[in-house]
Amino acid sequence: MNFEHTHPTFLCLLAFLVWLVVFVPMLWPFSLKRIIDRMPFVLCFSNFTLELGVMVSPKGFRRVFEALLGHSIYAKRFETDWQWINRWETVVGKLFFWLAVAGGLWGIVNLCRRHAWISNLLAVIMALLLCIFRFSSLLFP
């Protein structure tokens, strides 16, 4: 058994805490200029821990999600025979991938404006690496 299945609540809360530890110092003290300049870095790098926290949250807070859904998070749909939790993880993974791509594009805009060039360059590199890994099966069959 892996940690996600044995202690999902702890893993979810730990992932959110790590995300806050990266997010708050990067943008502190909060101002609109600092958020615009450094948000691409936050979207591309601390995105992984936030994604993990959101993906594990139905398992960590199972009763809350089941009360909202009206059925088990492991319920299967008749048409596709997929469990609800599998659909959740697929959608969340795609959403956070495209958030990272948006962060990379935002980083390119900030680089053209010559604002916070180190953090934006790192964000663009990370977004490019994510795209290469995501589409590597299309690029290298």
Residue 134's pLDDT is 85
Query: Quick one: which of 116, 103, 4, 110 has its CA closest to 45?
Result: 103
Residue 40's pLDDT is 92
Tokens of 60: 């960590």
Q: Taking 60 as the threshold, does the pLDDT of residue 1 lie above it?
A: no
Residue 25's pLDDT is 86
The model's pLDDT over 22-59, given as tens digits with 9 standing for 90+, comes to 888 888 888 898 989 989 999 888 788 999 999 999 99
The model's pLDDT over 73-132, given as tens digits with 9 standing for 90+, comes to 888 766 666 788 888 888 999 999 999 999 999 999 999 999 889 999 999 999 999 888
Residue 58's pLDDT is 93
Q: How many CA atoms lie within 13 A of 50 on its CB side?
A: 16
- At residue 12 the predicted structure's pLDDT band, cuts being 50, 70 and 90, is very high
Distance (Å, rounded) from C-alpha 65 to C-alpha 54?
12
